[in-house]
Amino acid sequence: MKQRLAILGSTGSIGTSTLDVVARHPERFEVFALTAASRVDELLQQCLRFAPRFAVMVDAARAADLAQRLSSHGSATRVLSTPSDLEWVAAHEDVDAVMAAIVGAAGLAPCIAAARAGKRLLLANKEALVVGGEMFMTAVREGGARLLPIDSEHSAVFQSLPDDPATWAQRIDRIILTASGGPFRTRDPATLHSVTPEEAVAHPNWVMGRKISVDSATMMNKALEVIEARYLFNVAPEQIEVVIHPQSVVHSMVQYRDASVVAQLGTPDMRVPIAYGLSWPERMESGAERLDFRRLAAMTFETPDARRFPGLALAWDSLRAAPGTTAVLNAANEVAVAAFLDRRLRFDQIHVVNLETLCALSFSEPHSLADLLALDSQARTAAERAVTRLLA
Ligand code: NAD
Ligand code: MG
């Protein structure tokens, strides 16, 4: 039987890499739904090529445009257009696996829907887990879903762990996440105020969406990944360590109780963790180039500089604070990054907005998805206020 896929965020960097892998294995996969928020041309081409039953374009005017163009091509794909349609396709009974590749907290509700419906959930959308936290993991457990990490670091950790999660707690000493250090690893911290969006999104090793590229430059991406690792692998924040590894060959490591370290290596190509998530527990061709150890000049490791990357420590701080704090941090960061990309905020002020929002907001503990979404929107308002104040 073919695996029937819903690919949320199919026009993005992860979405297109997923379709690249899927296209290599037509005998294994069938595309049930594709979704996007913009880029009608790309979604149209994907629909014509993969013939999904549904396409969700979460924008009424763009959805109408897409539907009209699909019908003029004689396509049978049905177009839907609301955020709740994302949840509906993610939980549809004819779907086996959901690739969660929407960027930001906008992906939380469809992730929870897929988790509650017991799907195989391929998680690239780290913000959803950072916002959802324990509640996300409870939905996975109670829905009988299978959560497979797609973030390269977490895929590496997952590949370095034994199959049975029940054995993890007694074996893991530390989880060591590697970070490339992004484009400003060696830049003088005193000059970070003048960084432009173009400089910030030019990542040395990976080609990614704009938001995660800025997060890599501030290392907020790694902060989000520390939070992600805490929930995925159920370890204490103190058990997670970050090391800079500029070559991005070692994708992350597990240090065991006996001091043995197991790592996963490969060329930096997201098709590897995507193919692993799609084929797990098997392996299949990803299309990625092989590592050539004879050409690998060196692998180096260094400690992240707290002056250059002040946001990194917020991961441990927010994990130790009241439940919901990681959702506040994520919302603030989404607002700050958007403002930076809009040239309304300086690069070094992203951290100021995050810190101010964390300090300013008082909130009650979220107990439901609705509470979390309300907290997310409350934090966005506070972060917008911080941006406006900094503009003045
Ligand atoms: P991207 O910006 O390239 O793509 C985002 C996708 O989500 C697009 O299809 C877009 O249309 C859709 N989308 C955006 N806002 C939406 C909304 N409000 N509602 C519905 N759909 C929306 O991003 P990306 O780089 O592919 O990253 C996707 C996710 O995967 C992020 O959470 C990112 O952190 C994570 N991730 C990406 C990479 C990478 O290499 N790109 C690696 C690891 C993890
Ligand atoms: Mg990553």
120 C-alpha to ligand 1 centroid (Å):
19
- Residue written as token pair 């739904």: 33
Question: Does the CB atom of residue 106 touch ligand 1 within 6 A?
Answer: yes
Is there a binding annotation on residue 248? no
Q: How far is CA 162 from the centre of its chain?
A: 23
Q: How far apart are CA 244 and CA 116, in angstroms?
A: 36
Question: Residue 147: enclosing H or E segment and its boundaries?
Answer: strand 146-149
User: Given this structure, which CATH class describes domain 321-392?
Assistant: mainly alpha
Q: Which two tokens stand for residue 341?
A: 């990309």
pTM: 0.98
Phi, psi of 358 (to 5 degrees): -60, -40
CA dihedral 24, 26, 32, 37 (to 10 degrees): 20
Q: Spell out the domain ranges in the chain.
A: 3-150, 151-268+301-307, 321-392
Is there a binding annotation on residue 258? no
Same fold, 3-150 and 321-392: no
The H-assigned helical ranges of the chain are 13-23, 40-50, 60-72, 83-91, 108-116, 126-143, 152-160, 168-171, 197-201, 210-218, 220-233, 271-279, 314-320, 325-341, 349-360, 369-391
3-class secondary structure, 33: strand
Cβ neighbours for 249, distance < 8 A, ≥ 6 positions apart? 265, 266, 267, 268, 291, 296, 299
Query: Counting atoms of ligand 1 from 1, which one is nearest the CA of 11?
Result: 9
- Residue written as token pair 């007694």: 170
Q: How far apart are CA 378 and CA 362, in angstroms?
A: 10
Please give the chain's pLDDT, 392 residues, in tens. Answer: 999 999 999 999 999 999 999 999 999 999 999 999 999 999 999 999 999 999 999 999 999 999 999 999 999 999 999 999 999 999 999 999 999 999 999 999 999 999 999 999 999 999 999 999 999 999 999 999 999 999 999 999 999 999 999 999 999 999 999 999 999 999 999 999 999 999 999 988 878 999 999 999 999 999 999 999 999 999 999 999 999 999 999 999 999 999 999 999 999 999 999 999 999 999 999 999 999 999 998 999 999 999 999 999 999 999 999 999 999 999 999 999 999 999 999 999 999 999 999 999 999 999 999 999 999 999 999 999 999 999 88
- Residue written as token pair 């969406």: 209
342 C-alpha to ligand 1 centroid (Å):
18
3-class secondary structure, 254: strand
Q: How far apart are CA 11 and CA 39, in angstroms?
A: 7
Question: Does the CB atom of residue 66 touch ligand 1 within 6 A?
Answer: no
Is there a binding annotation on residue 216? yes
Specify the residue with its C-alpha closest to ligand 1, atom 25: 209
Q: Which two tokens stand for residue 135?
A: 């509640």
- Residue written as token pair 């058990």: 239
3-class secondary structure, 329: helix
Q: Name the CATH superfamily for 3-150.
A: NAD(P)-binding Rossmann-like Domain (3.40.50.720)
